[in-house]
Structure 1
């Protein structure tokens, strides 16, 4: 029978593979979006099957790890964290898939001016940078590296919050460009959601390394801030 350490390392490598695959999916979706490359968008859509298959494999392997080894302490935290990380990564892949579907089905060229004022390229770059940081944090099992993504997620949130006001203004000026605005708003929402998913992954890495549940602490801090 495979040893606990061997099984854990195999699971860990599957996690690295999933991170790399989903990061590449978003990178290709970005390139397809800015170049209107339908072939590249189709590649993202086809690769979604690999993402889904790996998602199922990791989930099954985590269940098998628990059943075979009855892990405790850090080994248990690792496998519980990996299951949640895997779930969030699969959803990152779903958003890259969704952006690519827009490119194929809508195929609406976006004015450079709109891309600039909506800061779409900055959003893509921030999301990809967050995935790079979280990959390093996962590989190094480093909670400090994981915390780096929280600040970058705020950038995505700010752009997303401003986008509705910008679109409301622009659509009154150029109602004929409504298709562009709807597409941009949809892509921006997906990128903002990817940022949320990466912060979820960061929280799981911190939980694994430090046995600390960050999301509850963040909620308490937010409530105190509102009361003050």
Structure 2
């Protein structure tokens, strides 16, 4: 095996390990939010530094590979995609950290766990976690056949977000004393919805790497065509 091929495999393993870490962070953030487990929230926050360190290391490895080997075609697409996916995973890690901070810093959180159930936040979390898993599987198997599934799940996340906002609006009307907490929940819901968008972006990068197709902005253009 050529030295360049070995380094590409090492890059692939590194981004896969980063993926697993971020997925674990997101799962822990979900559990801490839905159960009010403050200790678990602290674990998420303490591991955020590992996510950041991973990102810097992978960025450096990608830049060094490009500088040393001047890759072309699929190898270049792979390295460019890893750079973008790496940054996206770091952003998802930031959102997991933000959710953990919500658990620790939002007054009265443990008194509102039932409200979170009514908002079906767990369903939103399960959707984005599934998207992240399918993205990772697409990279490992070098197969973008699941792209359509990921994009469909993202639409479900958007629908869950819209439904949750409506439920929250009714809750504020019935319980005006909860308005401050509810506004914080809106920010929380937005974080989860954005994670879905980021998972979408990851799949788009994988399609670029594996199929040499650019999907970015296509959905927006299609939406405009239907207006």
The residue correspondences of 1:99-114 to structure 2 (distance < 5 A) are 99-107=99-107, 108-114=109-115
- Check the 8 A contact 2:25/2:96 in 1, yes or no: yes
Q: Which residue of 1 aligns with 2:22?
A: 22
TM-score, with length taken from structure 1: 0.94
The answer to whether the 8 Å contact 1:109/1:180 transfers is no
Q: What is aligned with 2:124?
A: 123
Aligned CA RMSD, in angstroms, stands at 1.5
- Determine if contact 2:36/2:113 at 8 Å carries over to the other structure: no
1:195 corresponds to = 196
Q: How has the CA–CA distance of structure 1 residues 170 and 193 changed in structure 2, closer, same or farther, with 3 Å as cutoff?
A: same
C-alpha distance in structure 1 between counterparts of 2:41 and 2:64, whole Å: 35
CA distance in 1, matches of 2:28, 2:111: 18
- Alpha-carbon deviation of 1:113? 4.4
Structure 1: which 4+ aligned runs deviate by more than 6 Å? none
Name 1:36's counterpart in structure 2.
Answer: 36
Q: Give per-residue Cα distances to partners, 1:125-161, cap 9 Å, x unaligned.
A: 1111111111111111211123321000111111212
**Residues 29 and 100 in structure 2, CA contact (< 8 A), matched pair in contact too:** yes
Q: Given that residues 110 and 180 in structure 1 are in contact (C-alpha distance below 8 angstroms), is that contact kept between their aligned partners in structure 2? A: no
Deviation at 1:188, TM superposition (A): 1.0
Deviations along 1:62-82, one digit per CA (max 9) or x if unpaired, are 000101110000000000011
Task: Give 1:78-117 correspondences, 5 Å limit.
Answer: 78-107=78-107, 108-117=109-118
Give the corresponding residue for 1:154. 155
Residues 19 and 135, structure 1, Cα contact 8 Å, conserved in 2: yes
Deviation at 1:164, TM superposition (A): 2.8
Q: CA deviation at 1:193?
A: 0.3
Give structure 1 stretches of 5+ with no counterpart.
none
Compared with structure 1, are the counterparts of its residues 182 and 109 closer, same or farther at alpha carbon in structure 2 (3 Å cutoff)? farther
CA distance in 2, matches of 1:123, 1:67: 41
The alpha carbon displacement at 1:112 in A equals: 5.0
8 Å Cα contact 1:147/1:202 also seen in 2: no
What's the TM-score, normalizing by structure 2? Answer: 0.94
Tell me how many residue pairs correspond in the alignment.
225
